[in-house]
Amino acid sequence: MKEFERLNETELQKAYEVINNKILQLEEIDKFDEKEYESFLQKRIYLNQKLNRVDELIHEATRREKYPAREEYKINKNIKIVLEHKNLFSHKSDTLVSTIHAEKYFFYSDRGSSFDLLNRLGESFLKDRQSEIGFKKAGDIIRIEHPQISTPMSYHILYYNDEKKLNLSDLNVGIIKVLDDVEKRNLSNISFFGLGFYYVLTSDEVNRPRIAEEIANEVAETIITYYRDKSLSSVNTIYFGFVNNKTMNTFDKAFFKWTSLAKQDIYIQKELSRVQKNLISKNNTINLKFHTILKEISYSLNDRSTIVLLGESGIGKTHIAEIIHKNSNRSSKPFISQNCALLRSETAHSILFGWKKGSFTGAIADGIGFIQKAEGGILFLDEVGTLELDVQKMLLTYLDKGIFYSFGDSENSVETDVKIIFGTNSNLEEQVSNNQFAEDLYERIHQRVFDIPPLRERREDVKILVDHFIKNLININKYPMEITPAVIEKLSLFNWPGNIRQLKFYIEKIYNEARHKNISEITNDLINNDPPRNEAISKQQYSHLENQLKYFLGKWKDENGRFLKDIIEPIVAKIYLEDLQIPVTRSSKFLGLTGSQGKDSILYKRLAKYKEAINNLKKL
């Protein structure tokens, strides 16, 4: 460096600035003379020494060696990703992973890690591999064994076929092929070098940051997605080696993003698991089929999609809808339940969607319907198939557009945010074919129909349900009661055509019977003396009931009897106490009857009147 020997300190500083600027200019150029660049670096190092300073190149190299840049990310509890400044040949691992430009084979860049690696293996080695790569395409991989260097094996991903555009899906496919092979070979450490970044170097300067980010994101997403849900893997560490800060920073951002999303997914899965446990526990079931259905329902809790609960009467559809509400993101908003079978066709529109002042007699002011009352929450419409077709189509409009029109107002739409759950015990496809259910509404909702199994198909749940009902009765009545395993076993053998509702009312009935007899244990004798109905009410039974009704109607005369007292009330008493087996206390409460309970109750007197009429009918 004779040209600098006679310079004073000021001149040395000026010379340093000139040399350093030339170095910076060269670094901005894609292709430059490596020897010229190296010559300038040597001059800068010399000038810094003359100025009693440590050159930044030496300082950076020393710092990297002593304090290497390093970032770690956990994919799961067993696998971590390590990003660090690392020299390809001083790194020891089970395998290296790099990329090759498919058309140019191994000779695509003297700045690529694959070229450096293969060049060290020798010219003859390269010639032997050229024929192999000729049959490969983008997305394929080449595995090479080279025991003569510290890492005995390497994978090379062919990631694009022409000069036009990188196909990220080829890179994705190649990485997955590498990871699959790594797992098969039970390798524990993988090291990635320069993965796809030759494409960045050959791109125009303006697009480089975007392309680099796309590649890094693809690599990070592919690896994290592959390993996130793997409970068993031979891999424990995945290294990424870098020779410059820019590339490392790009990958650092990508892995930070995707590991954060993975953690978020884990949180969502944990939250989903918590919700699923709540759905299962609140439904008092150990039946695996029902578990699966409840888990499927849990995936639809927090969106606006419509859920359809299909099941026999008494299966607990309203109860399930309430649990869905309590475990959804709408739990702080209203839950409204309505049995559509109780809606008269002429009032269904106004009850569901509200009405305009003056739209019918008695409409002295605007009124809001159930959909508006449930704003932000959940509306459960049971027996939706009983609604008139025109009302069903109004529901379809609301599901599609989130708007509806009040009764008597066809101009001003109302917009609300309500999740709707439908309940039905009917075969909707059959109803569609019979023109009883709107086909377009069925097409809109049939994707999320959940068929709730009847109690006879999950007999193992009888014990859980009985224990639950007995516990509640004890808490309400403050009267202890035991029930033996033998009794529960006997109860589980019944078919329970009325499902959970029938079981609940039957347990209340025998509990109260035991309590009134001062018995503290439900025994098989109690069950045998008054067993539950074991078959569904047949059409023949309804025909018999029809004959009884005809008898009452024929006997009743306007001048000497009252229709409600002489006909309806005795029949209702019979249905509640004998057909549905609902305890007299609950039946009386529902019907608004007061006074003494048990055999002296009003309800039993009405039942006696019914039986008297039936006896008279038999004599005819």
Question: What is the C-alpha to C-alpha distance for residues 158 and 142, in angstroms, rounded to an integer?
Answer: 8
Q: Write the pLDDT tens digit of every residue in 116-163.
A: 665 566 555 555 665 666 667 778 888 888 777 778 888 888 776 555
> Is the confidence at residue 560, as pLDDT, over 60?
no
pLDDT band (50, 70, 90) for residue 314: very high
Residue 169's Cα: distance from chain center in Å?
26
Q: How far is CA 34 from CA 19, 48, 604, in A?
A: 15, 21, 106
What does the pLDDT average to over 2-29?
A: 84
pLDDT band (50, 70, 90) for residue 49: confident
Answer for the pair 171, 161: CB distance below 8 angstroms, yes or no.
no
Average pLDDT, the chain: 80
Q: Write the pLDDT tens digit of every residue in 396-432.
A: 999 988 899 999 988 889 999 999 999 999 888 888 8
Q: Which residues fall within 8 angstroms of residue 531, CB to CB, at 6 or more apart?
A: 494
What does the pLDDT average to over 523-542?
A: 77
* The pLDDT value given to residue 476: 92
> Is the confidence at residue 366, as pLDDT, over 60?
yes
| Residue of higher predicted confidence among 498 and 544 | 498
Q: Using CB atoms within 10 A of its CB, is residue 135 exposed (0-12), middle (13-18) or buried (19+)?
A: exposed
pLDDT band (50, 70, 90) for residue 177: very high
> Is the confidence at residue 108, as pLDDT, over 60?
no
Number of CB atoms found within 10 A of residue 86's CB: 22
* The pLDDT value given to residue 620: 47
For tokens 């300190």, the residue is 9
Packing angle between helix 113-121 and helix 123-133, nearest 10 degrees? 120
* The pLDDT value given to residue 87: 65
Structure tokens at 526: 């109690």
* The pLDDT value given to residue 105: 47
Answer for the pair 404, 394: CB distance below 8 angstroms, yes or no.
yes
Q: Which domains does the chain have, with CATH numbers?
A: 2-66 (no CATH), 70-266 (3.40.220.10), 285-453 (3.40.50.300), 456-529 (1.10.8.60), 539-619 (no CATH)
**Residue 191, amino acid:** S
Q: What is the DSSP letter of 446?
A: G
pLDDT band (50, 70, 90) for residue 101: low
For tokens 């009661």, the residue is 481
**Least confident window among 133-142, 196-205, 288-297:** 196-205
Q: Write the pLDDT tens digit of every residue in 70-93.
A: 778 888 778 888 888 776 656 678
Question: What is the C-alpha to C-alpha distance for residues 10 and 49, in angstroms, rounded to an integer?
Answer: 14
pLDDT band (50, 70, 90) for residue 107: very low
Number of CB atoms found within 10 A of residue 402's CB: 14
pLDDT band (50, 70, 90) for residue 110: very low
Number of CB atoms found within 10 A of residue 197's CB: 26
| Residue of higher predicted confidence among 494 and 272 | 494
Answer for the pair 303, 321: CB distance below 8 angstroms, yes or no.
no
Question: What is the C-alpha to C-alpha distance for residues 68 and 179, in angstroms, rounded to an integer?
Answer: 27
Number of CB atoms found within 10 A of residue 500's CB: 21
> Is the confidence at residue 241, as pLDDT, over 70?
yes
* The pLDDT value given to residue 522: 92
Q: Could you write out the three-class secondary structure of 246-282?
A: HHHHHHHHHHHHHHHHHHHHHHHHHHHHHHHHHHHHH
* The pLDDT value given to residue 210: 83
For tokens 């959909």, the residue is 371
Angle at 532 between CA 529 and CA 534, to 5 degrees: 125
In terms of residues, how long is the chain?
A: 620
Highest averaged pLDDT of the listed ranges 424-438, 489-503, 555-569, 588-602: 489-503
